[in-house]
Copies of this chain bind each other. A is one copy, B any other.
Amino acid sequence: MRRFVVVGHRAITSSKFNLNDLCGATGRLDVLLRCINSAFFLSHDIRRDVELYLILQGEPEPPKTIRLVGDELKYLNPDERSTAALIRNALIKKIGKDEEMSTPGIYISKNGLEEVIKGLAKNSTLVYLREDGGIFEPTEKEQDYTFILSDDKDMDEKEEALLKVYEPEIVSLGSISYHSDHCIVIVNNLMDRFSNNSR
């Protein structure tokens, strides 16, 4: 399994946003929407072996985590607006202690970064993408990897400290700083090539 965790530092945790102003009034939810496209879309197919966690930390009810499961996803189209509508459906859900499904393959919970990372660290190699990291090179065939990224804001001190506990590998994708969704495309390609070469 290939997993991505993206922290949306100001991403809205209410369904009350306008689909016509995704860039303006959603705490940059648009960044996370593009990450969904990057994580899952292939030409005429969806990546079944990918799981994506979006950690929404904006007002009014932070945190919330939206988990997308490639193997179960339905109704996902590549454009931002229709993806936003799916995420809005998830945010409409009243959630208690447990994770709830909104549409097939899309789950929402009150978990935050700490719970998500703690859960994933047990069975997955954590890789934290940070601008000053070493160049990423996959090393083990069919490894269960979790890639952790930030949105347009860097991780804050508290998040850095939280991640440090789990001793993730800290890597970058070169000397240039890319948008989060572009990073996911590049990682997917590097992993595809690696899996193919080591088969």
Contact = CB atoms under 8 A, between A and B. Distances in A.
A81 B177 CA distance: 24
Q: How large is the interface on A (under 10, 10 to 19, 20 to 34, 35 or more residues)?
A: 35 or more
A175 B152 contact: no
Interface string A174-192: 1111110010011011001
A38 B182 contact: yes
Interface stretch (A39-47, A87-95, A105-113, A159-167): A39-47
Interface stretch (A1-9, A72-80, A120-128): A72-80
A177 B77 contact: no
A77 B23 contact: yes
Given A30-B79, A196-B174, A182 B185 contact: yes
A29 to B, nearest CB: 10
Contacts of A34: 37, 78
Given A174-B192, A189-B174, A196-B174, A22 B179 contact: no
11 contacts: A20-B20, A22-B81, A23-B77, A23-B78, A30-B79, A34-B37, A42-B179, A43-B179, A78-B179, A175-B196, A182-B188
Interface of A: 19-20, 22-23, 30-31, 34, 37-38, 41-44, 77-82, 152, 173-179, 182, 185-186, 188-189, 192-193, 196
